[in-house]
């Protein structure tokens, strides 16, 4: 899939650049896991979310995975178990990222 071209606002994409159902599904997951705040409605019989903010947990998670060393280490830990980091349940991803951050920054 090609990278969407960004307009003036970095979070607005042209329609058709990404599968809307997939985007909405992933936004719903982020809401369910307490990473973002969003209001929900239905447009053309498709559940649709309007993101209204990011939670403290969302900020903490982004700050952690934004570090390339931590993310690389978490991916490596998942690979050792025969999986890809983003193919495992989110709660496990958070735990691996936390463990990787502790190891990366504290050496433990």
Position 7 pLDDT exceeds 50: no
Nearest CA to 52 among 70, 79, 30? 30
Q: Which domain holds residue 10?
A: 1-54
Average pLDDT over residues 47-59: 92
Q: In total, how many domains does the chain have?
A: 2
Same domain (yes/no): 9, 49: yes
Position 74 pLDDT exceeds 50: yes
User: CA dist 34 to 49, 53, 60, 94, 105, Å?
Assistant: 14, 11, 11, 12, 25
Same domain (yes/no): 86, 38: no
Same domain (yes/no): 29, 72: no
pTM given for the model? 0.65
| Mean predicted lDDT score pLDDT of the chain | 82
Same domain (yes/no): 72, 37: no
What is the model's pLDDT at position 91?
87
Packed helices 56-65 and 68-80: angle between N→C axes, nearest 10 degrees: 80
What is the model's pLDDT at position 11?
45
Write out pLDDT tens, residues 10-42: 444 455 556 777 888 888 889 999 999 999 888
Write out pLDDT tens, residues 93-103: 888 999 999 98
Same domain (yes/no): 24, 62: no
């Amino acid at each position: 899939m090609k990278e969407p071209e960004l307009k003036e606002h970095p979070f607005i994409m042209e329609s058709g650049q990404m599968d809307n159902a997939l985007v909405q599904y992933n936004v719903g997951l982020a809401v369910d896991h307490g990473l973002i705040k969003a209001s929900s409605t239905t447009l053309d019989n498709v559940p649709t979310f309007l993101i209204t903010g990011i939670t403290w947990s969302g900020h903490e998670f982004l700050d952690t995975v934004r570090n390339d060393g931590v993310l690389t280490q978490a991916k490596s830990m998942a690979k050792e178990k025969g999986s890809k980091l983003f193919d495992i349940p989110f709660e496990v991803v958070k735990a691996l990222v936390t463990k990787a951050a502790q190891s990366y920054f504290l050496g433990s």
